[in-house]
Structure 1
Amino acid sequence: MQLSLTHPCFWKLLLLLVSNLLLWEGVASVPTCSMRNGRCYARFEEMLDQAISLSEQISKQAFNMFTEFDSQYSQSHQLIKRNFKKCHTSSIEIPKLGSKTRLPVSLHPLVLLKLVERILGAWKLPLSHLVNNMPSLKDAPATILSKAREIKKMNDGLLEGVRTILSQFQGGNKENENYLGWSGLASLQSEEEDVRLFTFYNLIRCVGRETQKVETAFKIVKCKISKQNEC
């Protein structure tokens, strides 16, 4: 039975990632399960599949939100003709999955998870601003706001899980306070409607692009731990 992605036990299962990452380079196989308080929890591959599934849901929801926003506003306000601004997390690069060039051996799964944490952390505040300011938009469909709230909720949950994993290696629950900053709040709250709309448009577009990085990173982690030749 597959656990709900928001179920508390999901993150208990995800914690098993810690021991398996430690064994990644020296053990040929991972345990079938882990015994805790006399109970056998799911194997690591299943936990990682849950994280991948959640990241896929975020990517899908972000794509749907952008499509709906684009349909609602782009033609009437000619948003598509304006030059997009660079996404604030675009400098955090994630290798492409399935590329002909092999990933560097040094790209340990923990490195990828730290990159994931940086991306998710850097989007925590912008997603809050997106949710809080979207009601100010004229004729904004309630479905777009609902999607934004769901994306924020899933992003926060995935960030909490990744932080918990990394804290096992860093000693204590150390929260990264040096996330890349987003500087679009003033434009998001501008009195000029076109400025606000374009900022929303660019922000939502970036959400879709950057959440795909998180999805890709999790899939590469699974690929590398499965010891496939090419990821």
Structure 2
Amino acid sequence: MDSKQSSWKGSLLLLLVLNLLLCKNVAASPACAGGAANCRLSLQDLFTRAVALSDNIYKVAEDAFRDFQKTYATGQEFISRAINSCHTSVIPTPADKDQALNTKECVR
């Protein structure tokens, strides 16, 4: 098995594991007692729920990344190689707003 095929399979495995970890123990909790259809929540309650959910997702992703680092990327500079081999790194981007406004349309 060559290294490209091996890294491709490793990336696929990582995506599958992350998907399982992010979906683990995820269940929608009812916003209203008894599941009332016309129940309304305050904006503060909605933001509180959004912050709690965001914090939970962050913690799960952080744990998954830490586990990946321990298992697969130890001593291999995996992250720096992945960043340096980005498929979009050869696409030139404008340095400032003026350059962005002066670019010609290439896509037809």
Relative contact order, CA 8 A, sep 6+: which one is greater? Answer: 1
Whether TM exceeds 0.5 here: the answer is no
The TM-score by the shorter chain falls in which range?
A: 0.3 to 0.5
TM-score by length of structure 2 reads: 0.39
TM-score by length of structure 1 reads: 0.20
